[in-house]
Amino acid sequence: MEGEGECSDNPFTSVITLTKMRVPHVPQRYVLPPSQRPNLTLDLTTTLPIIDLSTLHHASQRSLTLDTIQGACKELGFFQVVNHGIPLPVIHDALAAATEFFNLSLEEKMTLLSDNVHNPVRYGTSLNHASDKVHYWRDFIKHYSHPISDWIHLWPSNPPSYKDKMGNYAKAVQVLHKQLMEAILEALGLNFGNLQKEIEEGNQLMAINCYPACPEPDLTLGMPPHSDYGTLTVLLQSGPGLQLQDNKKKWLSVPFVEGALLVQLGDQIEVMSNGQYKSVVHQVTLSAENKRLSIASLHSLPINKKIGPAPELVDEQHPVSYNEFSFRDFLDYISSNDIADKRFIDSIKKSV
Ligand code: OGA
Ligand code: NI
C-alpha cells in the first residue's frame, strides 16, 4: 500500500492519541490564524429547514414539499430530513460500529493508513496528514461503498460486526440518496429518468469521522470550510458541531436532531443546475468536553462521468457558467491542491 508515511513531510499522529495523552494545549500545527478560527458562541440556528420525507409519497403533499426542497436548495444548499425511512436501530448500529473502530489500537488502524486519495479504503487524520500545512482535529476511515459487493471485502475486518452494521447503513443511505435525487431533480425541472442509470451506478464514498474532545476548541477546527464534490452528502452525526455558511456568508450552527439526517448539496449539483442551486460551504467545530462522530455518505455520478450544466437550464440569460468535471478530476485536484486554500468549484467556474 502507498503512503505508509515514510516519504511524508509530516509524521502520522492521530488526534485520538493526543486526546488520550491529555495534552493541555493543541500542538502548534493545529493552531489556525486568528481570521480562520471558529466562532463557538453562535446560537444553534432553529430556523433551518427540516423536511418530512414521508410527504413525498402523498400526491396531495408532494408538490408543496418539492417547493420547500427547492427553496432550501436555492438559499442554503442544505436541509435536514426526518421520516427518511432508515430505522433508528440501523443508525445506532452504524454509529456503534464507528465507535468500536476508533477504539481499536492505533497499530490495528495503521494497517489501513494511506495518504493516497485514490485508495478505495483508507484510514487517516486531518485532511491529509502527509501534505496539510495546518492540521485539523479529525481522525477518519473512508471507504467506497457502492455497489457494496465490489468493496466490502476491503473494509475493516475489525470490529467483527463492522461490515454488517456499516453495510446495512450504507445500503439504506444509497436508497435514500436516490429518492432525494429524484425529488431534487424534479424540483429543478429536470428529468430524473435521463440520469437514473448513472445515479444508480454512481459512486458512494463513506467518510466516518471522529472528532475527539479538544483542549483548545477555539484555536482549531475538525474540518476547514469546504463544499463536498458530489451530488449529495447525507450526514449522520452523534452531536452538534457542524456549521454552515448561508448565502450571505454568515456562519450558522446546525442543531442536533435525534434520528434526523443532514442533506448537503455538492458541487456536481451546483454545476448541473448551472448555479441555480448552491453547494453548501461547511466546517466542523470542536468541543472541549465531548467527542463527536459523524458518518458522511458522499454520493456522486460514476467516477469518470463528466458533469456539466444541464442543457435545459442554459439559455441566453443563463449562459453556461461552469466547465465540466468528473469525480476523478476532483481527486486529481486534491492530490496537488489544498482545498483549505481554494475551493475546487472556483477552479471550474467560467469567468464572465
Ligand atoms: C465531510 C464533512 C462533516 C462532519 O466529511 O465532508 O463535511 O460533520 N463532514 O463530519
Ligand atoms: Ni463535507
User: For the residues of 248-259, what is the DSSP string, one character each?
Assistant: TS-EEEPPP-TT
Q: What is the per-residue pLDDT for 10?
A: 67
- Ligand found nearest the CA of 208: 1
Q: How far is CA 276 from the centre of its chain?
A: 21
Q: What is the per-residue pLDDT for 131?
A: 86
- Ligand found nearest the CA of 235: 1
Say how many Å lie between the CA of residue 228 and the centre of ligand 2.
5
- Ligand found nearest the CA of 292: 1
User: What are the cell numbers at 304?
Assistant: 469518470
What sections of the chain are H helices per DSSP? 15-20, 59-75, 88-103, 106-110, 148-151, 162-188, 192-200, 267-272, 327-336, 344-348
CA nearest ligand 1 atom 9, residue: 296
Say how many Å lie between the CA of residue 317 and the centre of ligand 2.
32
Contact assessment for residue 30 and residue 219, using Cβ atoms and an 8 Å cutoff: yes
Q: What is the per-residue pLDDT for 45?
A: 85
The ligand 1 site (C-beta within 6 Å) comprises 207, 209, 223, 228, 235, 237, 242, 282, 284, 294, 296
Say how many Å lie between the CA of residue 227 and the centre of ligand 2.
6
Q: Point out the ligand 1 atom lying closest to the alpha carbon of residue 211.
A: 10
- Which residue from 126, 128, 141, 209 has its CB within 8 A of the most atoms of ligand 1, so it is best to mutate? 209
Say how many Å lie between the CA of residue 137 and the centre of ligand 1.
12
Q: What is the per-residue pLDDT for 9?
A: 58
Comparing CA positions, the residue from 177, 345, 170 lying closest to residue 272 is 345
- Which residue from 125, 128, 235, 286 has its CB within 8 A of the most atoms of ligand 1, so it is best to mutate? 235
CA nearest ligand 1 atom 1, residue: 296
Q: Point out the ligand 1 atom lying closest to the alpha carbon of residue 138.
A: 10
The torsion angles phi and psi of 26, rounded to 5 degrees, stand at -75, 140
Say how many Å lie between the CA of residue 122 and the centre of ligand 2.
17
Q: Could you give the C-alpha distances from 334 to 16, 50, 235, 283, 305, in angstroms and in order?
A: 25, 32, 21, 17, 18
Phi/psi-derived region of residue 22, left when phi > 0, alpha when psi is between -120 and 50, beta in every other case: left
- Which residue from 206, 208, 233 has its CB within 8 A of the most atoms of ligand 1, so it is best to mutate? 233
The Cα 219–Cα 223 span in angstroms is 12
Say how many Å lie between the CA of residue 255 and the centre of ligand 2.
17
The torsion angles phi and psi of 10, rounded to 5 degrees, stand at -115, 135
Beta bridge partners of 122: 142
Mean pLDDT by 10 residues, the chain (352 residues): 45 93 96 96 88 95 96 96 97 98 97 93 93 94 97 97 98 97 95 92 97 98 96 97 94 94 98 96 97 98 95 95 94 84 90 71
Q: What is the per-residue pLDDT for 2?
A: 38
Q: What is the per-residue pLDDT for 30?
A: 97
Q: Could you give the C-alpha distances from 252 to 32, 34, 234, 265, in angstroms and in order?
A: 20, 19, 18, 16
The Cα 232–Cα 298 span in angstroms is 6
CA triple 33-207-248, angle to 5 deg: 50
Instruction: Decide: pTM greater than 0.85.
Output: yes
Say how many Å lie between the CA of residue 234 and the centre of ligand 1.
10
- Which residue from 127, 137, 227, 228 has its CB within 8 A of the most atoms of ligand 1, so it is best to mutate? 228
User: What are the cell numbers at 263?
Assistant: 442533506
Say how many Å lie between the CA of residue 262 and the centre of ligand 1.
10
The string of DSSP letters for 27-57 reads: -GGGPPPGGG---TTPPB-TTS-EEEGGGGG
